[in-house]
A and B are shown apart, each in its own frame.
Chain A
């Protein structure tokens, strides 16, 4: 039977599905090298203080314990970070949150490790702590980082026109204060990796990481090892969502490897450690004023966003920057003043998480749109349609949109969907003690790193000696399926079916730096580089085959599954045979792509380091139909529709996977997820107290694609990894307001908050 080559646009089966479904796929967690040593961190347990002593005598007496390392065992500067190198590998003086690593234990077994960690005595002289931005900004608050006055990592503004003046001229103004909590990623495969010292003094690691290339710099800078001597492989991740962007285990693992007498070291955070010490989404307080003309045209926005970045900088400034670029929603607003502060506290470290900085202001502005619609007496969908951005408009950050912008198309698709059209009849059928409501959200999310950062990829594709096409991936696949998309692209261009396509996991030794797996950028950026590499390889294979088949013109030489053919002469050559004739250097193609940047950067921003502005956005229109149980306050999401503009759709199944998964995390964020802390220590410390949605908590999310095209994208696509997560919180809050007339401004929308709001309003 003829094999079919993979083709862009078809819902091809993911290349990684068979090995994952059979349990054969080896995640980093599944690596157990021979003769391994287990490593584990001792954490401070106090939110703020000066480290006085680490007493490891009792720990060293536990049978099976080999070493207990402290800061004095760290060569090099002992500081790591992505933008700011402010995190110690092992604390040497200041403790800034309870998860600060203070010692590293090496042991023969996990049991010995667990016992020893409990026996290490850490002596800290406590200092007063600050546990929310207000406290951190108050007069007399303890300064947490010398280089940052007043505990402010970044203060910035986006100013377009004169919002304060324009608000006074608005026919209608609404205001609101909103608050969203810290969220945890809860990838199922916790932070982990293995490491081994190499003969040249370098370290080889296999890590569950989103950024193997950048990790080398973090580890190298912290430990004084030249970055090119650090080799990192990232297998498929059991989830990442941003929480594995930035060193987690890497510096500790490398340190352990340096002290392991040549033995391989393994570190696996258990779930409690992941929740206590892993990165989080920033909690945020938002204050909004939105004004419109009588006909519903948005006219002025003034908002203030305060992000709690926790003990260390991580990507706090960049998270806030992106949030501020999105603070006005996917709408035309003539005048905007967006002010942001990113503040240090002694809380867990906030870093990157899917919908990076954006889901926080999305809650606010999409709630505000409904408040505005109510005050204007306008239908909320009409209000959004009236103001929705189109290509060529200037957005709330002052950036003129030169790329595909199809939010209107998404809203129109939603408008014609039966879930919207039949909403009133549906609401009227609410059962006893139940209130039904419908809520909308218009969302958007930029892809890519933005301005002043190189956003680029280098792709390598190879014809193997056995005649297979090997894609050397360089951007970690954390489940989003970029690796599968790359195989699909390679199959499409080189005319091959799945059995001929191989993926090599990102390996810093054999692949090329291509940035992190984040920001919805990998299929777009690496995909574009890969297209060029594959086209070059196709041309080359056709040319070499033409030579070997002795045809006078390559015009009719074609690649089909497994071979090269020349129909006019009926000559053909299996790929294995072709490969045998080609030297290795000839079988490898490398090409590159740099993502477009904004050509006309507006003069609207102040205070950002990097990121401003972004130029490519995915858009979405969401509809939630909910039921509120009037007796318990519980919200049930009965139906959920997400219409997404991701440009062209290369793999419809994978497109839906991203949207459904993003909505699921968004519903968790909306209804039940909140990292509860007390004085910096995480109280929701396991999966019984930090709840994510299970199969009974979610409806069948309907994902529709608005079929568009982004000219600069591979096969016309844009990244859609993040946009869907932004919708549920505002859509559900708007649904609750529609169902019960109560406006919730604090997430998550717990049954308790719903009931309290209803009682306060004495709802029937």
Chain B
């Protein structure tokens, strides 16, 4: 083999050096943006990559690294992070980190005593001029031109304006004024009398002061009302001396608080129990219905005397091939109480119009019907594969002995495919246990229980319940939702263990 040229030999180390430098630059940027956790993750990934791609001892890991890193960062880490969030009070009331909540408070302003001014803005090239009119005396002042910048604080000096002399440039329309509010808020104007005014309304300037000044011990002094507010690490709020909470709150660890709420708070415990029960019933019944139908069809389609089996198989396979989000929404429309086709047919045939979406029992039945429709083709395919593996002479012997089709089915087919099927049934149970897409698109968990404080639906599964809690109608209770997610994780892990055991049994039987 010819030796690679020196240029090529230098290429790889040079590229590696550039990549590492780039990554380090990114880490610094992220760290400067205040995302310490993210910066650490990036740094750890870069270090691991550097080690793996330079050390000869880690050759095999060079192939693994990208995939494993992606799985660790985007699958394992979110799980671990879910557990962690479950121990905090992260919610819409306590949304920010402590750092950001403090930064927010430190930037808060209040309106001090002194004259207020009506402002008009005039465009002057890329900059603006201001005309301020004292609201009481009517005295006019002008300031600028000044370049507005939402990214940094801008200061400008005002001077008395000469009478009614028109300001140069075009006055900004209201729309432009609204668009530049963020930049105007960073503008401070020093009036001729030495007072400092800032934007205090849509186009009003008034003496505005920073409300909180930080103290070395971590507390903030309230300049407007006096007194000191201190961070309370139990509730995640700054508290005034008399115990009042100051918005915004910040995230703090609450230990087992969320889990205690699930177990003891009656308004949470009750729906939790009922939803858990429905989740189990829903997944079990789905597996039973889909498997029964799928198995019977598999037996029928394995019957040689039947013609046109491949057409039947293709048609019956369709529900599996149509994207779930489309077929579920189609059913949502077909089941509609007033205009849905299903009710039109039922009305024409039997004169009834069931209220599929507002009656809990009917809503649950509808979910099971739709989910059986969606789920049986998979079971059918699996069972057909398993039936193919049953030796044909068993059926021949049965036929000689005079057995009918029912005897064949219950005495030969079912017992022989039961064991290899069990692990698949369990994973199907686990899948439907977390069948968020079906619930979310078909009923959204509705109709709701009437006797709960946190919205909870009669058709909600545990996952859709946590989703509603976190992202929909119950005030973004991320911490609580993460705690319930953790409980579901444990349940799924338990199902998983059972499945591994049955898989082992099935494999040993086969040997």
Do A and B interact with each other, yes or no? no
